[in-house]
Structure 1
Amino acid sequence: MPTETEREESWLTRDELEDVRGRVPMLYVIAVPVRVGEAGDLDQVGLLLRASDTGRMERELVAGRVLYHERIRDALVRHLEKDLGPMALPRIPVSPQPLTVAEFFPTPGVTPYHDPRQHAVALVFAVPVHGDCAPQQDALELAWLTPSEAASTDVEAEMAGGHAVLLRQVLAHLGQTL
């Protein structure tokens, strides 16, 4: 039996996760994989293509929950490797600082960010990737787009839940005037 200072650390069951999601905000990380040229300019942005729960094909940013007792840096690496493959070689600083914070609500319209499952707070990062990427898990494709392609209305139309707004914020943060 755990003492007061010891905790049982394990994954939540599906039912437990749904219960917690209905009671407290969940912490997420969102990573926008980027490739930077020799001069330090943004060359490409990586976007995933996945089938949504409704069967619609959507472009997404790399995202996922931060686990209990997991450092933000470790969560970023875990999600980038899960979605982009182990050879993506993301360059994450020792002490990463988010470029923005997004608050997702189950009620549409509270913020530009919507997640019908939960209230979630996401720390958003642009992460340089230096290796070969191959989509993993349920991603069908990883597309490397120029900043202007990534900011196009066609790509924006393929993004849901406010991810297009976040992508534009990341591009602006990285000096892209679109």
Structure 2
Amino acid sequence: MDMNTPDPNLGWLSEEELAQARRRLPIVCVEAIPVRVDGLGRITEVGLLLRATPGGAMARMLVTGRVMYGETIREALFRHIEKDLGPMAFPLLPANPVPAQVAEYFPLPGISPFVDERQHAVSLVFIVPVTGTCDPRQDALEVSWLSPQEATLDSTIADMEGGRGALLRAVLASAGVF
């Protein structure tokens, strides 16, 4: 790209700009819990991503990411689901997305149950039914489909970082799974 040509996507920050923003502002994020539902809309399976952490450990994760400048919540959800689960996941996004939970992540432990060492982030958490084939992309190694009971076992929760296990339990409980 020519240095005089403006970036066509003004919603992207350079790594330096993002680092500076993370030090000064809460970052708005979305998190999606991909689910499979039966004909009555009851959750039958929960999709969890398996990723390698920067330290080389394996961790279970939710679909997650930032909301870009000028992007709607709905567009951010769709973009991150497609990025993590592939273009054939076919998410069923509601006409008016309303989060099932709001999680506030802090860089220091003890302020809330949710920790993200990189930033202070406010995350809108959604349950999103998917009907298609999910093939992990980006840095996800696999997507595992677990029953809600398997997804909330202590052993599964222990594989989730930053308090996301507690978040998963709370969101599934709010959906009447337990």
What is the TM-score normalised by the length of structure 1? 0.93
Distance 2:172 2:56 in 1: 28
Match of 1:175 in 2: 176
Correspondence list, 1:71-110, <5 A: 71-110=72-111
Match of 1:152 in 2: 153
CA deviation profile, 1:147-171 (whole Å, cap 9, x unmatched):
0000001101100101101100111
Distance 1:138 1:132 in 2: 18
Q: Taking structure 1 as reference, are residues 10 and 29 closer, same or farther at Cα in structure 2, changes over 3 Å only?
A: closer
1:37 aligns with 2:38: yes
What is the TM-score normalised by the length of structure 2? 0.93
- Seq. identity, %: 55
Q: Which moved more, 1:168-177 or 1:152-161?
A: 168-177
Match of 1:127 in 2: 128
Amino acid at match of 1:74: E
Q: Secondary structure at the match of 1:22?
A: helix
Report how many residues are paired.
170
Q: RMSD in angstroms over aligned alpha carbons?
A: 1.0
Q: Secondary structure at the match of 1:40?
A: coil
Please list every run of at least 4 consecutive aligned residues from structure 1 whose deviation after the TM superposition is greater than 4 angstroms. Answer: none
Distance 1:36 1:70 in 2: 28
Distance 2:122 2:41 in 1: 30
Distance 2:35 2:174 in 1: 13
Distance 1:70 1:35 in 2: 26
5+ residue gaps, structure 2, are 1-8
Match of 1:28 in 2: 29
5+ residue gaps, structure 1, are 1-7
CA deviation profile, 1:14-60 (whole Å, cap 9, x unmatched):
11100010000000000000000123221000000000011110000
